[in-house]
Structure 1
Amino acid sequence: MAESYVKQSINDGVSCIEFYNPPHNGLPSHLLLQLEQELIQASNNDAVKVVVLQSGGDRTFCAGASFNELITIETEAEGKIFFSGFAKVINAMRTCPKFIICKVQGKTVGGGVGIAAASDYCLATQYAAIKLSELSIGIGPFVIEPAVSRKIGVAAMSEMTINAEQFYDANWAKQKGLFAEVFETKEALDTAAEALSQKLKTYNPEAVKDMKNVMWQNTSHWDELLAERAKISGKLVLSDFTKQVLSKYKTT
């Protein structure tokens, strides 16, 4: 089986950050930390003009949290630390002074929807169905809710949260504003992302930075807010209900 990784490559002003964790790109805490660090590095690198965020593989973009790691959590403190991983990735995307293009090539669940929502421009394939499954395992999309609600609205976020076992197709996600464009193939997605990144890298960096500040206004409290939300999830993951559900998904 292929090894997990987070890697960044920079080519002529474009940073491509890619994460991968077989089989479904579920993210454990060490990969979330690496992803946050790569985003911060790109933010601080003057040679980077635009960031492209993607996952490896042709199928699932991101299955959210690593169930194998969730089931090992034994204290509320451990739980908060784990869910803070997604919080810190979202905040790193929020505060990045460069535009972040996200490429969603396949299904995405939970925290993966949060990552897509925290990007500045999200492109997807027709296979990129989305789901917020958290309530069905006894927790809730607390950490990612601000990012998801900001992008698609409270009504759509609530619908997805309540219908926790339902996938919503890529066209629904486009209609709600999560995806800017939907393509028939991954090849078409790659071509469009490349063209967009080449265009964006020519824009005035100061204008981009100021525009991002405007686009993300009224979110300066998210460092504290998402930490509080991580604490809620960290407590709920210890419930008997959640432990029982997660045990069914544990893999070796």
Structure 2
Amino acid sequence: MTPKVETQTDGLGITTVSFFHPAHNSLPSSLLTELADSITAAGQQENTKVIVLRSEGERTFCAGASFDELMAIQDEAQGLAFFSGFAKVINACRTCPKIIVGRVQGKAIGGGVGVAAATDYCFASSQAAVKLSELVVGIGPFVVGPAVERKIGPAAYAQLALDAAEFRPATWAKDRGLYAELFDTAAELDTAVQAFAEKLACYNPEALTALKQVFWEGTAHWDTLLVERAAISGRLVLSEFTRHAIQQFKSK
């Protein structure tokens, strides 16, 4: 199947933004930019009352950034551009005036955890384990860190960031606030997402927008912070240590 980002709005004003990539929904820079732009555009549509953010497929919500692109980085400028991809998506979610409901049907890895954390209310399946795997390849979860830490707290974020080789189960993520509710089947998950989105679509849109601003108070500096964090990873990816770690990971 072809990588894609799609947007659809139903008669109730529920706009669904969905993404797909055949490599376990790992996202190259072009798709990350398209996803960020789609979220921004949906938020500006007058007929959109609430946004549902989801991916296609069954086993993985998002496996992070494209590993092929990571290995192709040759200088700091390319590194900054690469690691700014998820910064764009997180900031698009943050600045979007509409409430974003997340639907996480499978594993979330690296940047995928950041996307889930950037939604305002997130439903997940019981298979939606989480892992911040960046240290394994010699970098760190610098870009997604602010979003993840804001949602689950500094102690849980440190656990995820440092225990980089291990998945934490969906129940762990729910207990720490990343997920609001868990469901055993995709059908149950979809029913819950739809029902909640329909409720939100009936509320005063001005109240929802004001509430969203309250939720994200204190994050106005993220426009620059996440870019600064991307630059850190952009430098680290060029180090001899990281190059060697990437080669070891690739050979597995």
Shift of residue 241 of structure 1?
Answer: 2.4
Q: Confirm or deny: 8 A CA contact 2:79 2:231 kept in the other structure.
A: yes
Q: Confirm or deny: 8 A CA contact 2:137 2:249 kept in the other structure.
A: no
Alignment map for 1:229-244 (pairs within 5 Å): 229-244=229-244
Query: For each residue in 1:24-81, what CA deviation from the matched residue of structure 2 results, as whole angstroms up to 9, or x when unmatched?
Result: 1111100000001100100110110000000110110000011001000101011101
Alignment map for 1:57-136 (pairs within 5 Å): 57-136=57-136
Query: How far apart are the structure 1 equivalents of 2:23 and 2:139?
Result: 23
Other-structure match for 2:216: 216
The number of equivalent residue pairs is 250
Secondary structure of the structure 2 residue equivalent to 1:101: strand
Query: How far apart are the structure 1 equivalents of 2:39 and 2:249?
Result: 30
Other-structure match for 1:3: 2
Return 165-174 or 237-246, whichever deviates more: 237-246
The answer to whether structure 1 residue 158 and structure 2 residue 148 are counterparts is no
Query: How far apart are the structure 1 equivalents of 2:114 and 2:219?
Result: 15
Amino acid at match of 1:121: Y
Q: Confirm or deny: 8 A CA contact 1:67 1:246 kept in the other structure.
A: no
RMSD between aligned residues: 1.1
Query: How far apart are the structure 2 equivalents of 1:187 and 1:241?
Result: 44
Secondary structure of the structure 1 residue equivalent to 2:61: coil
Amino acid at match of 1:199: K
Secondary structure of the structure 1 residue equivalent to 2:73: coil
Shift of residue 206 of structure 1?
Answer: 0.6
Q: Confirm or deny: 8 A CA contact 1:90 1:118 kept in the other structure.
A: yes
Amino acid at match of 1:123: F
Alignment map for 1:30-49 (pairs within 5 Å): 30-49=30-49
Shift of residue 212 of structure 1?
Answer: 0.6
Unaligned runs of 5+ in 1: none
Q: Confirm or deny: 8 A CA contact 2:28 2:66 kept in the other structure.
A: yes
Unaligned runs of 5+ in 2: none
Shift of residue 127 of structure 1?
Answer: 0.3
Amino acid at match of 2:63: A
Other-structure match for 1:245: 245
Q: Confirm or deny: 8 A CA contact 1:156 1:176 kept in the other structure.
A: yes
Query: How far apart are the structure 2 equivalents of 1:240 and 1:68?
Result: 18
Query: How far apart are the structure 1 equivalents of 2:242 and 2:64?
Result: 16
Query: How far apart are the structure 1 equivalents of 2:238 and 2:54?
Result: 31
Query: How far apart are the structure 2 equivalents of 1:247 and 1:3?
Result: 27
Amino acid at match of 1:66: S
TM normalised by structure 2 equals 0.97
Query: How far apart are the structure 2 equivalents of 1:96 and 1:16?
Result: 14
Secondary structure of the structure 1 residue equivalent to 2:156: helix
Other-structure match for 1:146: 146
Amino acid at match of 1:7: E
Shift of residue 136 of structure 1?
Answer: 1.1
Percent identity among equivalent residues? 54
Secondary structure of the structure 2 residue equivalent to 1:61: strand
Query: How far apart are the structure 2 equivalents of 1:36 and 1:164?
Result: 26
TM normalised by structure 1 equals 0.97
Q: Confirm or deny: 8 A CA contact 2:100 2:119 kept in the other structure.
A: yes
Shift of residue 248 of structure 1?
Answer: 4.8
Q: Confirm or deny: 8 A CA contact 1:61 1:112 kept in the other structure.
A: yes
Other-structure match for 2:168: 168
Secondary structure of the structure 1 residue equivalent to 2:211: helix
Shift of residue 249 of structure 1?
Answer: 5.1
- Give the 3 Å change call, closer, same or farther, for CA 240–61 of structure 1 in structure 2: same
Query: How far apart are the structure 2 equivalents of 1:19 and 1:93?
Result: 15
Q: Confirm or deny: 8 A CA contact 1:79 1:231 kept in the other structure.
A: yes
Secondary structure of the structure 2 residue equivalent to 1:52: strand
Q: Confirm or deny: 8 A CA contact 1:131 1:165 kept in the other structure.
A: yes
The answer to whether structure 1 residue 198 and structure 2 residue 202 are counterparts is no
Shift of residue 5 of structure 1?
Answer: 0.5
